[in-house]
Structure formats: structure tokens, C-alpha cells
Amino acid sequence: MSREKIYEQLNTVFQDVFDDDSIKVEDNTSAKDISAWDSMAHINLVLGTEQEFGIKFRTSEVAKLNNVGEFIDLIQNKLAS
């Protein structure tokens, strides 16, 4: 799956979790860029992403992420394995 397609699907997950169709994530987007991104929203993002892409994350993998670009990299790696 292309990085662009992952972005498209991940953006939909973000819009659904935050109930905000104006959200457009980029590589450097992080929790500090979205005011409603708290710990509960973070869990919902992870669960929504797992469901959207049919993959599972380990807590240790998610804990290392600093921004959406790293999240995209992780999704790509999961989809490739």
C-alpha cells in the first residue's frame, strides 16, 4: 500500500476519532497540534487504526511514536510483514 493511500485512510481515522472533517495530518503532526488529542483519544486512534488497516500494535511500539510520520512508518512495516 502506498504512503499516500495510508495517509488517506489514516486521515479518515483521525477525522472520525476527533469528529472533525477539517483535520489533515502530516508527517510532523503530533498530539500538541490537535487540542483534543488526550490519552483517551490516543487509545481510540490506535484502535481505529488497527481496525482500518487490519493490523495490531504492541504497546511498546506505540509508546515510541513521536508524530504521524513515525506512525505511518510503523503502519507500512506492519502491512509489509
The CA distance from 63 to 57, in Å, is 10
Model pTM score: 0.91
pLDDT of residue 1 exceeding 90, the answer is no
CATH number at residue 72: 1.10.1200.10
Which domain, by its residues, includes 65?
Answer: 3-80
Type and span of the H or E element at 77: helix 68-80
Q: pLDDT tens-digit profile of 17-76? A: 999 999 999 999 999 999 999 999 999 999 999 999 999 999 999 999 999 999 999 999
pLDDT tens for residues 6-34?
Answer: 999 999 999 999 999 999 999 999 999 99
Q: Which of 19, 15, 44, 40 is nearest to 29 (CA)?
A: 15
> What does the pLDDT read at residue 22?
94
In the chain, how many domains are there?
Answer: 1
Find all residues with CB under 8 Å of 72, minimum gap 6, and list them. Answer: 3, 6, 7, 10, 27
